[in-house]
Structure 1
Amino acid sequence: NEEEVDVETLKNILGPDAGIIERDEEGNVINVILGKSKEELEEDKEVEPAPAKTDIVWALEEEAAVV
């Protein structure tokens, strides 16, 4: 009993130089799944906006201005 795995999940798991070749019973290639490159993986990630300066940065800047 084989479990179905999502193709996008496989692409994320495989490295950029790896792939999976699916063949039929006669040995003919029916599908090739290639791993995503580092750049493609970074494109898929959503980055939440963050404030340009945190309270720590503000405090350090104030301290630096005093010295």
Structure 2
Amino acid sequence: MTTIRIETLSDTASGQVFAEVYKGEGSAPIMRSAAAFTSHDELADQVLELLRTHFPDHSPFVEDPTIGV
């Protein structure tokens, strides 16, 4: 099992928010987004929407937007 951690951080120069992604126990980020979000909540919502879209719940009783039903 691997742990993936996503942190939202503020860019002091622009006042915008960006994300860093860490894998396992690594102290260096493996990915970093642009500082293009207005708040930590906006960025978190975008990340959650991305995850919901690409890793949907395939339970037979859950609507799956990836297949249109």
Name the TM tier (shorter chain).
Answer: under 0.3
Q: TM-score, normalised by structure 2?
A: 0.27
The structure that is helix-richer by fraction is 1
- Structure ranking higher on relative contact order (CA contacts 8 Å, 6+ apart): 1
The structure that is strand-richer by fraction is 2
**For the pair shown, which has the larger CA radius of gyration, 1 or 2?**
1
